[in-house]
Amino acid sequence: MAGNDYGWYPGHMTKSIRAIRGELGLVDLCIEVIDARIPLSSRNPDIDELAKDKYRLIILNKSDLADEKKSRAWAEYFKSKGIETLELCAKERKASDLVKKASLYVCREKIERDKKRGILNRPVRAMVCGIPNVGKSTLINTIIGKSKTQTGNKPGVTRSNQWVKTNAGIDLLDTPGLLWPRFEDKTVGFKLAAIGSVNDQVINTMQLAGEVITLMNDLYPDRVKEKYEIDDLSKPEEVFKAAAFKNGILLKGGDPDMQRAADLILTDLRSGKLGRITLEEPSL
């Protein structure tokens, strides 16, 4: 998959990194949102460098769709690297309090320092960052109680940021820092596409579904076997056929509609109908 398929161009990346650096200069805390189903592939390759002088919080978002055991392992992994991590579903109301609490905890040293200097009630300033589709706007909206934020969700789009006060002593930038994925790595492109973070119109969904079956055969074979009533997952086209027959997805003559079956499998995976899945594990 070419880098351009993500909508990122070198000019966009330069502009975006300049904007993020400028904004990060004003913040205490960088809240990095990643997708709990692919915690590695949904990270920006430069975030550690970009946010090296900031307090850090990683949000393992969409935890409602991810494998709980693996989310726990990822949280431990990031903590072992010194970054506080929160498993979250940004759509839920309670996400707001969880993030505020974790933010204050992460910044406790600064808050204490301010207190000792007699500076009271200086809010922690936070910025939400991450690659497209991980749930940044959803999280901001949940925290500030707003309906859909008008994000400049296109690389390089200029935005005018505003600080929004919360009731927890945290000021939040109302527009997220948009970063790019590690697109030089092919498996990253595949996994982003698998979870639906890349526009399906620019990819061959039949091929993608085939690769998904192969990966699921390694990670969660029983889920696929049970769902489409098939014992052998070694040939993806046989799985497409089984899914087509099981769901009555047939062409006029009665043959299975392989394209629609492949699309159904992707939809099932992305919507949690194949259970809660995580496609990557931390290497400890």
Q: Hey, what amino acid is at 275?
A: G
Which residue lies nearer to ligand G4P by CB, 90 or 242? 90
Residue with smallest beta-carbon separation from ligand G4P: 135
Sequence-distant (6+) residues with CB within 8 A of 243 are: 227, 228, 249, 261, 264, 265
Measured distance CA(151)–CA(140) in Å, rounded: 11
Q: SS3 of 221, please?
A: helix
Nearest to ligand G4P of 153, 267 (CB atom): 153
> Judged by CB under 6 A, which of 130, 189, 210, 256 binds ligand G4P?
130
Among residue numbers 43 through 82, which ones bind ligand G4P (CB under 6 A)? Answer: 61-62, 64-65
11-48: b (≥16 Cβ within 10 Å) or e: ebbeebbebbeebbeebbbbbbbbbbbbbbbbbbeebe
Six token digits for residue 74: 């990822």
Please identify which residue in 132, 177, 181, 236 interacts with ligand G4P, judged by CB under 6 A. 132
> Which of 19, 71, 83, 135 contacts ligand G4P by CB under 6 A?
135
Spatial distance between the Cα atoms of 29 and 129, rounded to a whole number of angstroms: 10
The binding track of 173-212 with respect to ligand G4P, each residue x by CB under 6 A or -, is ---x------------------------------------
- With CB under 6 A as the rule, give the number of residues binding ligand G4P: 18
Residue number, 129 or 244, with CB nearest to ligand G4P: 129
DSSP character at residue 144: H
Residues engaged in binding ligand G4P (CB under 6 A):
61-62, 64-65, 89-91, 130, 132-138, 151, 153, 176
